């Protein structure tokens, strides 16, 4: 028996990117209660966000891409550790836990667990425009974050702050934008 996600267009399945995205996201939305822990799902989502995001050419990290964790629980740290050394667009992924230091130097991606920023996200993005910020606080987008993971009625979904992404010159796959629950752009 094939299960389909309600409200999703069939046309996306016909492309290789669409198939990968559907496998990575849509089916995981249905499987949150089937033995996957929330932290493992978050790590899987973040990995796929990175696969479908391009940094500005001048800021593109060369041999490795460093993903830093802020305010991480031991479970979250363990889930993200499974990503260590994986390849993303010919770059090796390195995962680093910032602990309580919150020093984002050397990080290209910062995952903030439950609003773990020591300063406002607006200030952080002004200081580090090349930093892709992803978080799981329900107000993450409103606070200036770029991608927010949101748990809604037992499903893990995501919002994208398109205006901030464009301002920072990141490019994100159009197929990924279609899967976002809510794409916030200027004027919203």
What would the pLDDT profile of 134-154 be if each residue is shown by its tens digit? 999 888 888 888 999 998 888
Q: Which domains does the chain have, with CATH numbers?
A: 11-184 (3.40.50)
Looking at residue 12, what DSSP letter applies?
G
Question: 């499974």: which residue's tokens?
Answer: 82
Q: β-pairing, 91-97 with 87-88?
A: antiparallel
Specify the residue for token string 């094939």. 2
Q: What is the pLDDT of residues 84-122, one digit of tens each?
A: 999 998 889 999 998 766 677 888 999 988 866 656 777
- For the stretch 152-184, pLDDT in tens is 888 899 999 998 888 888 999 999 999 998 765
* Residue 2 neighbours by CB under 8 Å, 6+ apart: none
What does the alpha-carbon distance between residue 66 and residue 87 come to, in Å, rounded to a whole number?
Answer: 12
Of residues 103, 182, 175, the one with CA closest to residue 149: 182
> If you search the block for the tokens 């609003």, which residue do you land on?
115
Q: If you average pLDDT over every residue of the chain, what do you get?
A: 78
pLDDT (tens digit, 9 = 90+) per residue, 117-137? Answer: 656 777 777 778 788 999 998
The larger pLDDT score, comparing residue 41 to residue 122, is at 41
Rounded to whole angstroms, what are the CA distances from 67 to 19, 33, 118, 164?
Answer: 25, 27, 17, 19
């Amino acid at each position: 028996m094939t299960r389909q996600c309600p409200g999703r267009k069939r046309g996306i399945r016909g492309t290789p990117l669409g198939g990968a995205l559907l496998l990575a996201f849509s089916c995981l939305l249905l499987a949150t209660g089937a033995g996957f822990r929330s932290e493992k799902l978050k790590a899987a989502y973040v990995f796929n966000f990175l696969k479908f995001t391009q940094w500005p050419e001048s800021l593109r990290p060369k041999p490795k891409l460093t993903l830093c964790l802020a305010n991480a629980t031991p479970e979250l740290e363990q889930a993200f550790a499974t990503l260590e050394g994986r390849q993303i667009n010919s770059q090796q992924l390195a995962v680093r836990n910032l602990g309580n230091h919150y020093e984002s130097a050397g990080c290209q991606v910062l995952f903030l667990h439950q609003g773990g920023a020591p300063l406002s996200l607006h200030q952080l993005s002004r200081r580090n425009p090349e930093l892709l910020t992803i978080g799981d606080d329900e107000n993450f987008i409103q606070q200036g974050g770029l991608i927010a993971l949101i748990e809604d009625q037992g499903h893990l979904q995501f919002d994208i702050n398109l205006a901030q992404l464009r301002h920072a010159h990141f490019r994100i796959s159009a197929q990924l934008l279609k899967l976002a629950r809510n794409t916030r752009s200027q004027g919203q």
